[in-house]
Amino acid sequence: MTATLLRLTLRLVLCGLLVTGSGRLLAQDAPKERQNVGLLQISVIDKLLAAEIALGPSLKRNGEEAWAAEYKALYDKYKQDASPNNLANSRVVMSMALGIKASDGVLALKARDLEALNSCAEQIEKLAAKLDVPGHYLERASIAKRHASQQRWVESFMELGYLQHQIMRSLETNPAQKDDAMLVIMGGWLQGGRCVTKLIADHYTPAASNILREPKLVQLMEQEMNKINPTYKADPLVQEVLKFLPDAQQKVNVGIKDPISLESVKALHDGFERLVELIIKPPPPAP
């Protein structure tokens, strides 16, 4: 599978619509100053491709199949159970959990693991339903699963890319969804960062560490997170994310060709891992 085809891949960004009614999670109105700044293009796939290019020669790996076992091990180690019934009943949690499962879905596809992909898709669909996403937005996910079941991996990646395009168009025309979408993006970035930093730390080279360099992106994410509505921003999980971002930005703010130290890579991994586990943590039992 070529890198060009792979770049048509997964940007699973699903979000909740503004809904009302008994038993529904209610999305807050997004502040008017929130803008579409292109963050919907973030995906762990870009970092995985870069890692393959940087590490492939030293690990003597050439082609997708040579990486499948590594991605399978990463998936098995870091996959998260994000079934809505096991999560706190809030849009903040559901949105970030949806992003987490999107990143899990990328790893499942890269690992050529059909069972894992189906599990991710089922949890994504449940989370999307909890956020009242219309079913027709998920049609591409079903097509992608069918292609994967036939080991047509290129077609599966492409269908998930089309899904991203549809969801982006929806987000751009529904201002009330923008804050939910930002949280989905953040959840996906946290879980993707968790996996990529583990990959880099396990096979560390100074050159490979530089693929984590993205100070402007982290700065932009921090700016956008600070624009979300006050109710979301006051959530303890969002506050923890906001505390993490400046430190993460500092660690990845190196020269264009400079390495990020192994110590910093491991520290980033620990930060990503702590936040993902906080998001997925089951709520305390009802008294």
3-state SS record for the chain: CCHHHHCCCCCCCCCCCCCCCCCCCCCCCCCCCCCCCCHHHCCHHHHHHHHHHHHHHHHCCCCCHHHHHHHHHHHHHHCCCCCHHHCCCCHHHHHHHHHHHHHHHHHHHHCCCHHHHHHHHHHHHHHHHHCCCCHHHHHHHHHHHHHHHCCCHHHHHHHHHHHHHHHHHHHHCCHHHHHHHHHHHHHHHHHHHHHHHHHHHHCCCHHHHHHHCCHHHHHHHHHHHCCCCHHHHCCHHHHHHHHHHHHHHHHHCCCCCCCCCHHHHHHHHHHHHHHHHHHHCCCCCCC
pLDDT for residue 186: 92
- Give, for all 287 residues of the chain, the pLDDT tens digit: 443 333 333 333 333 222 222 233 444 444 445 554 445 445 678 888 899 999 999 999 988 889 999 999 999 999 989 999 999 999 899 989 988 988 898 898 889 888 888 888 888 878 887 877 777 777 777 787 788 788 887 787 777 667 666 655 665 566 777 788 889 889 989 999 999 999 999 999 999 999 999 999 999 999 999 999 899 999 999 999 999 999 999 999 999 999 999 999 999 999 999 999 999 998 887 66
pLDDT for residue 270: 98
pLDDT for residue 161: 64
pLDDT for residue 86: 92
Q: Please state, in angstroms and rounded to a whole number, the distance separating the CA atoms of residues 127 and 184.
A: 11
pLDDT for residue 42: 56
